[in-house]
Chains A and B, each alone.
Chain A
Amino acid sequence: MKTTPYLLSLPALLLFAGVVVIPLAMTVILTFHDWGQYKGIEPVFILKNWREVFGDPYYGEMFGRTFRIALIVTVLTALFGAPEAYILNRMKSPWRGIFLLVILGPLLISVVARTLGWALLFGGNSGLVNKTLMSLGLISGPLPFMFTETGMVVALVHVLMPYMVLSVWAALQRLDPQVENAAVALGAGSLTVLRRIVLPQAMPGILSGAVIVFALAASAFATPAIIGGRRLKVASTLVYDEFLNTLNWPLGAVVAVLLLAALAFIVIGANRLVERRYAQVFG
């Protein structure tokens, strides 16, 4: 019977060996191949593509932009999503169920359709967002959103917000409302309760949500492609261009492998930190 679990896992194992491990290994090998406009991909082993990506400041700038956008999006989703999860948690049935559906529901709608909505809202200088902001007196002239980092950030915050709310919501489920009541009964003000009781308990949820949002924002494709157009490039849209327009696959593969490595490093590191920090609390 020792072989039973292996036999049961065999179909999945074969599938993943064939369709995940081998293609990824091939992609890493591809990064060392040569490429020319007329000769195409040449199966040799050279470091030309790696030198080009590390030598040309264009790529450094592009990666900087990618991770800067991801970081800003992460901070904004945490800042706005965590309070909303708390408010949702305090709502009564049926409102809580209804609004949870409204906020998580967009996850089920194609990201292309959601980004299209933002493209319509931004829509040049006369877009609905600018009109609203100007009529409220918040800005004096129209802000550029399309083809800017600002626009990408706003749309990505919207696209990734459900993950943050979900993560904080899950953490708040463990919060015993009696602890809050006890703090109030012992004379704590509502701000003290938020800071000393709710926030520490929500923190694991905020951090694990932040890891998910950061990873998805740094590798997001459709939203930066639609909002950023062909001019403002992030890592994934650059990979797309190299593979499907320039056809320099080896160079595109270097950018993709670097993105994967950087994300794996950041995500694993962050998870370790979160686990070590909260091992005592939620052992």
Chain B
Amino acid sequence: MSRNGPVALVYHALFVVFMLAPIVVVCWVAFTPEGFLSFPTGHWSLRWFKALAFYPEFVSAFWRSLFLGALSSALAVAVSVPAALAIARYRFPGREAFTALFMSPLMIPNIVLGIAFLRFFTQIGLGGTFTGLVLSHIVIVLPFALRLTLASAVGLDRAIEHAAVSLGASEWTVLKRVTLPLIVPGVASGWALAFINSFDEVTMTVFIAAPGTETLPVRMFLYIQDNIDPLVTSVSACVIAVAVAALIALDRAYGLERLLVGRGSHGR
């Protein structure tokens, strides 16, 4: 394979600058010592990170987002695993339709899901509750959990299960001791991808979160609508730090490429 020429490398450099510029700028401004938005040069300060302590709504929204993401992803995985096993190993009428239905939240704009949930939860008395948030988040992250769980269930070598059966294992033992342990990597990366999508979701959540159940992205969005000041840049810098940490951990654990593309990479 031929190498990239100088033109390609210059293009690549500009591209990377474009992709990183807004992220770097947020982190840069977060360290300003001034009381207004400015790019600090030479004089840095943690003033706006310390100020976060006086805005408990950001701190509580952060913990809520973390908990909501972990819980709804876990529940989405719990629902996905049996569905993935059904889709992966049985041919039954309605199989295609089920798959399409479970993947449908990817096709439906989150704004439409947002108003649908708002109307629905208000009608049944779950409006603005944490239960409503969890239910809606399970639904929107389920496609991510299902896709990766399905990929590992399809790739499973059935011969291992057959061996277990021929050695006298019951169906339940096979499931518990053979099948589930084998799909754990797919399930774990499905959970991780679901968690990230729940943690970052704003469009749908902005409709169903009430004061007291706001998630961090929703709190940030509502804050930015009113005014952009250094405080929200320091919150964003923390969010970016969490994302970078997650990114590195995910890449070490599964390979980001595999996680995002959804299959093993050939070229490496």
Contact = CB atoms under 8 A, between A and B. Distances in A.
B251 interface: yes
Interface string B1-19: 1111000110110011011
Binding site secondary structure of chain B: helix
Given A20-B104, A173-B265, A109 B200 contact: yes
A32 interface: no
A191 interface: no
A118 B26 CA distance: 9
B152 interface: no
A12 B95 contact: no
B221 A225 contact: yes
A264 to B, nearest CB: 7
Contacts of A102: 16, 19-20
Q: How large is the interface on B (under 10, 10 to 19, 20 to 34, 35 or more residues)?
A: 35 or more
Interface string B173-204: 00000000000000000000000100110110
Contacts of B154: none
A128 B18 CA distance: 13
A239 B111 CA distance: 8
Contacts of A16: 101-102, 104, 139
The residue among B9, B19, B22, B246 with the most chain A CB atoms within 10 A of its own CB is B22
Interface string A183-224: 010000010000000000000000000000001001111100
Given A8-B83, A19-B136, A117-B22, A226 B260 contact: no
Contact of A236 (B111, B136, B196, B267): B111
Binding site secondary structure of chain A: helix
B105 interface: yes
B118 A243 contact: yes
Given A5-B86, A121-B21, A260-B112, A113 B240 contact: yes
B65 to A, nearest CB: 9
Contact of B87 (A9, A116, A169): A9
Nearest to A81: B15
B256 A104 contact: yes
A107 B119 CA distance: 30
Interface in B229-268: 232-233, 236, 239-240, 243-244, 246-247, 251, 256-257, 260-261, 265-268
Given A128-B25, A236-B109, A225 B225 contact: yes
Contacts of A103: 15-16, 19
Contacts of A226: 221, 224-225
A249 to B, nearest CB: 7
B117 A11 contact: no
A114 interface: yes
Contacts of A181: 1
A108 B202 contact: no
A180 interface: yes
A110 B243 contact: yes
Interface in B39-88: 39, 78-80, 82-83, 85-87
Nearest to B248: A101
Nearest to B5: A190
Interface in A233-272: 235-236, 239-240, 243-244, 249, 252-253, 256-257, 259-260, 263-264, 267
A3 to B, nearest CB: 9
Given A239-B111, A256-B115, A87 B256 contact: no
B107 interface: yes
Contact of A89 (B117, B118, B244, B267): B267
10 contacts: A5-B86, A5-B92, A12-B102, A23-B117, A87-B11, A103-B19, A110-B236, A113-B220, A113-B236, A116-B224
Interface of A: 2, 4-6, 8-9, 11-13, 15-16, 19-20, 22-24, 26-27, 30, 80, 83-84, 87-91, 93, 96-97, 99-121, 123, 128, 155, 158, 161, 166, 169-170, 173, 177, 180-181, 184, 190, 215, 218-222, 225-226, 235-236, 239-240, 243-244, 249, 252-253, 256-257, 259-260, 263-264, 267
